[in-house]
Structure 1
């Protein structure tokens, strides 16, 4: 799958700082995704693509309309869960999947005043395509598990891991 690691000997935390990507790892009855990037935003965007590639082949997908969403949370883990739940919602309600994802943390005071003072904000742009236009390779996700959900920063960059209920 695009973004997969060449082997399981190099976890995301050991990658070179300039790299970003994602992979799936074995997990009983669900999908486990690991993602990494030079920034938190890159890492979370890669987690979205990793989740989609667990059930759809995006290799020939053409990006269509761009959907803009804003997710909030008190911690990085909250942002990851909220973002992935947004993707599940869009899949179930609109039948669309992200092909390209960009995430940014707004810097403006207006953006931060829109939420509680302790909440983090993440603005996300997703170029989507209709699920019917890509090969479906597995069961679509139904939700995000909070069990073993993690987002961490290290000197090499950011990494995250999440289990998706299928």
Structure 2
């Protein structure tokens, strides 16, 4: 990235929900090695209906928020749509003390260059993280 304190992640999958889950995995993988970990907790939250890009930002903002306030991060993510167009996100989690740091921890999700949508092969997204 042009700015040394930025990390760019991309994700893709057949469905919107799967692409969101892959984006969470990519963000976590940018700074922590969770391979081989057994989750020690669960967490969940709902995201109200909105534009696809706003949903992506909301889910990734929650990763950053819980990392900063609870010291937890998702090891596995399940996303389902709700009847009103929103999302239900469920995580299996672990504490940050159980993971090895492999990169800079994200501080925020940048809106510049944000992309999330459907293409010929499914869904894809790209997002920049301020670290």
Give the whole-Å Cα distance in 1 for the aligned partners of 2:29 and 2:72: 13
State the Cα RMSD in Å.
Answer: 1.2
Q: Which 4+ runs in 1 deviate beyond 4 A?
A: none
Give the whole-Å Cα distance in 2 for the aligned partners of 1:66 and 1:135: 20
Give the whole-Å Cα distance in 1 for the aligned partners of 2:125 and 2:63: 17
Q: Deviation digits for residues 115-150 of structure 1, max 9, x if unmatched?
A: xxxxx4110001000011010111111000000101
Matched, 1:160 2:125: yes
Among 76, 83, 89, which residue is 1:124 paired with? 89
Give the whole-Å Cα distance in 2 for the aligned partners of 1:161 and 1:27: 15
Would the aligned equivalents of 1:72 and 1:82 in 2 still touch at CA under 8 Å?
A: no
Extract unaligned runs of 5+ from structure 2: none
Report what 2:31 is aligned to: 55
Q: TM-score, normalised by structure 2?
A: 0.94
Q: Deviation digits for residues 34-58 of structure 1, max 9, x if unmatched?
A: 0001100000111011001111001
Structure 2 CA distance for partners of 1:27 and 1:33, relative to 1, 3 Å:
farther
Extract unaligned runs of 5+ from structure 1: 1-25, 113-119
Q: TM-score, normalised by structure 1?
A: 0.75
Question: Equivalent residues in 2 for 1:84-163 (5 A)?
Answer: 84-107=60-83, 112=84, 120-163=85-128
* The structure with more strand, counted as a fraction of residues: 2
Higher RCO structure (Cα 8 Å, ≥6 apart) = 2
Give the whole-Å Cα distance in 1 for the aligned partners of 2:51 and 2:87: 11
Equivalent residue pairs, number: 130
Which secondary structure state, in structure 1, belongs to the residue aligned with residue 89 of structure 2? strand
Question: Over alpha carbons, which structure has the higher Rg?
Answer: 1
